[in-house]
Structure 1
Amino acid sequence: MSTAYDEIKTRLQGSMVALVTPMHPDGTVDYKRLADLIDWQIEQGTHCLVAVGTTGESATLSMQEHSDVIRYFVQHVKGRVPVIAGTGANNTMEAIKLTQDAADAGADCALLVAPYYNKPPQEGLFQHYKTIAEAVNIPQMLYNVPGRTVVDIAQETVERLCDIDNIVAIKDATGSVGRGEQLIKAVGDKMVVLSGDDGTALDLMKVGGKGNISVTANVAPKAMSETFTAGLRGDFAAADKAHDVVKHLHRDLFIESSPIPAKYALHKMGMIDKGIRLPLVWLAQKHHATIDEALVRANLL
């Protein structure tokens, strides 16, 4: 049965970047650099932009800044590609507020990370997502990243949630292709399954995934776009060829907690200033050579 949300499902695919939030050295948001990054990503072929996800330092922005950055994204993108707004929280009412702000700003979809730290049971996860979906009329994407949240959205819970019309997708950052394949088989065309793990994203596409929400695309948007564009048309020989140039970045950009290495890399490329917020700190000196060499190997320096 078709729904009002079917159109957005066709647009949530390909190479999707979880964009860093550029900052000045004092930690304030650098909107000029943000505009430049947005334009560069679109020019390089990125299919969707994620505002204020984990890589965008959602955990260190205030609620007001969070909503302000999302609003700026939407205004600057001007409909050129879909904007996915990170609006998750471990407090359901806070997540509703952030999601409503994103809807009011004109975001195309909300990305809702599993509630972190408080470790809800599966019924709590179901009720959390159901409550947000019923409260805010915007397409919504589940985000399962147990390595960050210490809670795992079970497949059975996802299957229950995929019957809610405006829950249209899931970002699966478990890194398990086998698990992702089972999820794809279970949800059918009710929900778009996307990877949130760069290292396994192309393999997930080979078994039916529709794309990748990426850290690596921050620094290598063209190669990632070429990889997942080829994958979408089923040309995995071309996808593998494009991917081979940058796949080492999936490891090196996690040499410290994300987005620390990605921000260093973008600074090295001359695209952002040296700004990050505590408790995150700038990349340790001992890792600089690793990232520098990785960028040269990917033809980015």
Structure 2
Amino acid sequence: MKKIFPNGMWPVMLTPLEDNGNVDYLALEELINWYIEEGASGLFAVCQSSEMFYLSIDERKELTHFIKKISNGRVPVISSGHVSYSLRDQIHELNMIAEAGADAVILLSNRLATANESDEILIERLKQIMNELPENIPLGFYECPYPYKRVLSTKIVEFCVESGRFYFLKDTCCNIEEIKKKLEIMKGSNMKLYNANTSTLLESMKYGAAGYSGVMANFHPALYAWLLENWEKEPEKATYLQDVLTPCSFIELKNYPLSAKKYLAEEIGLSVKARTRKNIADYISETELSELRQIKELSDRAMEFISR
């Protein structure tokens, strides 16, 4: 019997970098511990927030291994990182992630078929991948927005559920009707849906979503952890918190992940440097800094309110 992953808040992890661009493992250890202290139920390592498209396969494997080691069984660690175009290369990458000790290997929906290719083609390639990964490794899907977003159809979700090998879906469709359809198919199976979209989060929980796995867990994860744990017990506070979190989430559209690293350094006090490989320049404007300060102030007020 494979492990059923816990409900709750699953941060999409950042990759701290040193000034020379190398991975900063001291800052990463601090970051891992912060996520867990803030209430993370699990960690999504090596994803788009991790700048996986700018990391070598050796770096992706080492990150997975290190995060698994430092988490030390406190929470499960899932990981992706198959960024190649060739299916053969993707299978190699996914096996390396499995070897690194990930509790689940997460597939990117847009890697298995181009935008104009059918679900049938995607499923055939998915079968090839599944045949060449260890059968005891739980699998998941991530509807990664880059280089294009491929939302899983009901047909693909049905295939995943029927296979019995899928346990996790990071859903980015941002559409409650589509989420409801997926949840209906997943009902009673091992597969769980973790919503990446803040504005539909509370409503999706009412229909059976397992939790949140999105960008804003890099800003105020404790608020998401509280919402996911208490939305049924304290519905009025949950509604208030949802109304606060949604406008705050618009910051993810601006200069991310640099903005999140700057926020963690300046507003939280972590040793994460404002360095990225993704951004052309590691520059945050005064206006953006002001916005980050205001998010911290609003987050503190929200935490004070829900703690009464």
Tell me if structure 2 keeps the 8 A contact 1:67–1:102: yes
2:257 equivalent in structure 1: 259
Which range is displaced more, 135-144 or 197-206? 197-206
Q: Structure 1 residues 103 and 185 mapped into 2: Cα distance closer, same or farther (>3 Å)?
A: same
TM-superposed deviation, 1:264: 2.2
Gaps of 5+ in 2: 302-308
Tell me if structure 1 keeps the 8 A contact 2:170–2:194: yes
For the residue of structure 2 that corresponds to 1:168, the secondary structure is: strand
Match of 1:121 among 112, 118, 122: 118
Amino acid at match of 2:192: V
d(CA) in 1 for partners of 2:150, 2:35: 32
TM-superposed deviation, 1:255: 2.2
Q: 1:194-215: CA deviations, max 9, x gaps?
A: 2122332222112211111121
d(CA) in 2 for partners of 1:110, 1:147: 18
TM-superposed deviation, 1:155: 1.6
Tell me if structure 2 keeps the 8 A contact 1:197–1:214: yes
For the residue of structure 1 that corresponds to 2:74, the secondary structure is: coil
1:78 equivalent in structure 2: 72
Tell me if structure 2 keeps the 8 A contact 1:47–1:82: yes
1:172 equivalent in structure 2: 171
1:14 equivalent in structure 2: 8
2:298 equivalent in structure 1: 297
2:100 equivalent in structure 1: 105
Q: Structure 1 residues 146 and 219 mapped into 2: Cα distance closer, same or farther (>3 Å)?
A: closer
d(CA) in 2 for partners of 1:111, 1:283: 32
TM-superposed deviation, 1:242: 4.3
Q: 1:63-107: CA deviations, max 9, x gaps?
A: 110111011001111110010112333433333223222222221
d(CA) in 2 for partners of 1:37, 1:177: 32
Match of 2:20 among 5, 26, 29: 26
1:157 equivalent in structure 2: 156
For the residue of structure 1 that corresponds to 2:300, the secondary structure is: coil
TM-superposed deviation, 1:293: 1.7
Gaps of 5+ in 1: none
Q: Structure 1 residues 146 and 77 mapped into 2: Cα distance closer, same or farther (>3 Å)?
A: closer
Tell me if structure 1 keeps the 8 A contact 2:52–2:60: yes
Which range is displaced more, 186-195 or 233-242? 233-242
Q: Structure 1 residues 284 and 161 mapped into 2: Cα distance closer, same or farther (>3 Å)?
A: same
d(CA) in 2 for partners of 1:261, 1:250: 12
Amino acid at match of 1:77: S
Q: 1:11-60: CA deviations, max 9, x gaps?
A: 24211100111111221111000000111111121111111111111111
Which range is displaced more, 222-231 or 286-295? 286-295
Q: Structure 1 residues 153 and 88 mapped into 2: Cα distance closer, same or farther (>3 Å)?
A: farther
Amino acid at match of 1:156: K
RMSD: 2.3
Q: 1:266-290: CA deviations, max 9, x gaps?
A: 1223321121014554354142222
Tell me if structure 2 keeps the 8 A contact 1:60–1:277: yes
2:289 equivalent in structure 1: 288
Amino acid at match of 1:274: A
1:268 aligns with 2:266: yes
Amino acid at match of 2:277: R
Number of residue pairs aligned between Structure 1 and Structure 2:
292
Tell me if structure 2 keeps the 8 A contact 1:45–1:221: yes
For the residue of structure 2 that corresponds to 1:209, the secondary structure is: coil
2:230 equivalent in structure 1: 230
Which range is displaced more, 20-29 or 240-249? 240-249
Question: What TM-score, normalized by structure 2, do the two folds share?
Answer: 0.86
Q: Structure 1 residues 98 and 287 mapped into 2: Cα distance closer, same or farther (>3 Å)?
A: same
Q: Structure 1 residues 234 and 109 mapped into 2: Cα distance closer, same or farther (>3 Å)?
A: farther
TM alignment of 1:178-217, pairs within 5 A = 178-190=177-189, 191-217=191-217
d(CA) in 1 for partners of 2:12, 2:288: 22
d(CA) in 2 for partners of 1:236, 1:140: 33
d(CA) in 2 for partners of 1:207, 1:135: 34
1:144 equivalent in structure 2: 143
Question: What TM-score, normalized by structure 1, do the two folds share?
Answer: 0.88
For the residue of structure 1 that corresponds to 2:142, the secondary structure is: strand
